[in-house]
């Protein structure tokens, strides 16, 4: 298990980076750096595929953190 864990972490990190980047595809460049022209973008309700991607990102981040903690043990 100890020899397999680094490969699991690499796969999870790639998936996590991809899901994070996919969430910002509809935003302008200024939105990625904290600026926004539209005030209502802070009060946005996620629906459909966007919500699913958000939940998958949270699950993958939790799995990555657990695998990092297991690697320390």
What is the tens place of the pLDDT at every residue in 34-54? Answer: 555 555 555 667 788 888 999
CB 60 within 8 A of CB 52: no
Helices (H), 1-73: 5-23, 29-32, 49-72
pTM of the full structure: 0.71
pLDDT tens string 14-30: 999 999 998 865 555 45
Mean pLDDT of 57-67: 96
């Amino acid at each position: 298990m100890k020899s397999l864990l680094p490969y699991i972490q690499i796969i999870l990190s790639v998936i996590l980076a991809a899901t994070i980047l996919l969430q910002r595809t509809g935003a302008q460049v200024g939105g990625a750096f904290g600026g926004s022209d539209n005030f209502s973008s802070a009060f946005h309700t996620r629906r459909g595929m966007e919500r699913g991607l958000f939940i998958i990102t949270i699950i993958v981040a939790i799995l990555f953190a657990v695998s990092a903690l297991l690697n320390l043990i």
